[in-house]
Chains A and B, each alone.
Chain A
């Protein structure tokens, strides 16, 4: 049986992880490789590395980091952050990334999704969508949620799926950072509209929030950052809890 996935997200700035505390047994929580290995050993099903740096050397630094992660971590990982061309993706995949995540660049030029799928296959192309609910429904936001658009979230998600993306990583800007639970109603609706796996993001605060994202939200995977980085919950304990609640988990 296919299990639901728990995915910690690590923000990378100039080759270092940004958030997080030093866990017991971890020499350096700022080292993405060491932190990634730690989470893999804790039972994480995948990892997402989001590069938030905006330097000229970014591409080179990130490629070297990806190579290092791929050499050391034996679970799949996705790399995102500022990816905007076939060439960007090629470098990351060649260095051992399993998947890449694109966001604003896909909204600006939707053909990019088709180009990437055509060259690399659906299985490695994740499209991240940041959205927020307004008077006229859910709208797509760009640049980490900072720039509003009038693009309808569900129509964009459908286009993303039609263009062949392998997964959608949906972050609700209304829930992100609140620790009050995922956008379950919207997630469930999204699952009815598109037939590709959905990763839920934004709002994780308690273990029951994850249960709700899988049960009510019908998500295929759930992503979180701070609850793991600040050790508010251990992935191992979370997965045991979810399994007990009847959600298929890899333990």
Chain B
């Protein structure tokens, strides 16, 4: 099994590599379209600011590649947000895979949201064996509202998409690599999408 982590210089990816290692899996870092296309599984990480991350993707022509991928693709945190239509952060266009915009949390809650929140209304094979109301670690100032691609719901200021799914594309707003046993199970479910 070949797992590629898309490496476009956006943020900390070491934690994801370590989380996969704890599941006895070695992932490859790559920005090479051929290598990404040939992977069994693709992880699209991202931490930082949306418009500059999008600019980095465009600079390496990865923006057009991702939506054409046929294997399971997992976007994490900013990775998930970039897979949406648009983000208010830096007013940037996204990859348009998930049919929603990404908005900033209102000022009646503390921004960023940092900590462990619950996930509910789980509807994706990623959450096999995960109980409703499980806690996951999340840290973000922008969020995807509920939409037809929502596959898990969390609440902060209002209910929002903790996870999104369309066809082979999966997105998680929270950090499975930092979410203890629950996160590890979610990552292992992703790995199990290829045998």
Which residue of B14, B110, B141, B181 is within 8 Å of A220 (Cβ)?
Answer: B110
Q: CB-defined interface of A78-118 with B at 8 Å, one 1/0 digit per residue?
A: 00000000000000011111100000000000000000000
Checking A3, A45, A120, A197 against B112 with a beta-carbon cut-off of 8 angstroms, the contacting residue is A197
Give the dominant DSSP class at A's interface. loop
Q: Assuming A3-B116, A45-B116, A123-B114, is B184 touching A250 (CB within 8 A)?
A: no
State whether the Cβ of A48 lies closer than 8 Å to any Cβ in chain B.
no
Bitwise, B156-182 to A at CB < 8 A (1) or not (0) is 100000000000000000010111110
Number of residues in B with C-beta < 8 Å to the partner? 36
Contact status B12-A196, CB under 8 Å: no
A118 → chain B, closest Cβ, in Å? 8
Q: Does B48 contact A (CB under 8 A)?
A: yes
Q: Is the CB of A74 within 8 A of B19?
A: yes
Among B115, B155, B156, B177, max chain A CB count under 10 A is at B115
Q: Is B113 an interface position by the 8 A CB rule?
A: yes
CA gap between A98 and B139 in the complex, in Å: 10
A166 at the interface (CB under 8 A from B): yes
How many CB-defined contacts (below 8 Å) exist between A and B? 92
Tell me whether A13 is interfacial, beta carbon within 8 Å: no
- CA of A75 to CA of B174 in the docked complex: distance in angstroms? 12
Bound-state Cα–Cα, A124 to B48, Å:
9
Q: Is the CB of A94 within 8 A of B111?
A: no
Interface contact B110-A75, CB-CB below 8 Å: no
CB atoms of B118 and A74 under 8 A apart: no
Contact bitstring B92-121, A, C-beta under 8 A = 1, else 0:
000000000000000100111111111000
Q: Does A53 have its Cβ within 8 Å of any Cβ on chain B?
A: no
- Residues in B with CB closer than 8 Å to A76 are 137, 139, 175, 178
* Chain A residue at smallest Cβ distance from B19: A74
A-B pairs with the 5 shortest C-beta distances?
A: A96-B14, A250-B135, A121-B48, A250-B116, A123-B139
Q: Which residues of A contact B175 (CB under 8 A)?
A: 76
A71 to B26, CA, bound (A): 13
Q: Apart from A70-B14, A196-B111, what are 6 other A-B pairs with CB-CB below 8 Å? A: A3-B116, A5-B116, A75-B179, A94-B12, A196-B110, A250-B135
- Interface centre among A1, A75, A123, A197, by most chain B C-beta atoms within 10 angstroms, is A123
Q: Are B116 and A123 in contact (CB under 8 A)?
A: no
Q: How far is the CB of B23 from chain A (nearest CB, A)?
A: 11
The distance in angstroms between the C-alpha atoms of A237 and B47, with both chains bound, is 34
B51 to chain A, nearest CB (A): 12
How far is B114's CA from A124's CA once the two chains are assembled, in angstroms? 10
Q: Which of A192-219 contact B (CB under 8 A)?
A: 195-197
Q: Of B11, B48, B116, B179, which contacts A2 at CB under 8 A?
A: B116
**Residue contact B47 to A121, C-beta cutoff 8 Å:** yes
Taking a contact as CB atoms under 8 Å apart, the answer to whether B114 and A197 are in contact is: yes
Chain A positions within 8 Å of B156 at CB level: 2
Give chain A residues whose Cβ lies under 8 Å from the Cβ of B155: 1
Q: Is the C-beta of A130 less than 8 angstroms from some C-beta in chain B?
A: no
Question: Which of B11, B115, B141 is within 8 Å of A5, CB to CB?
Answer: B115
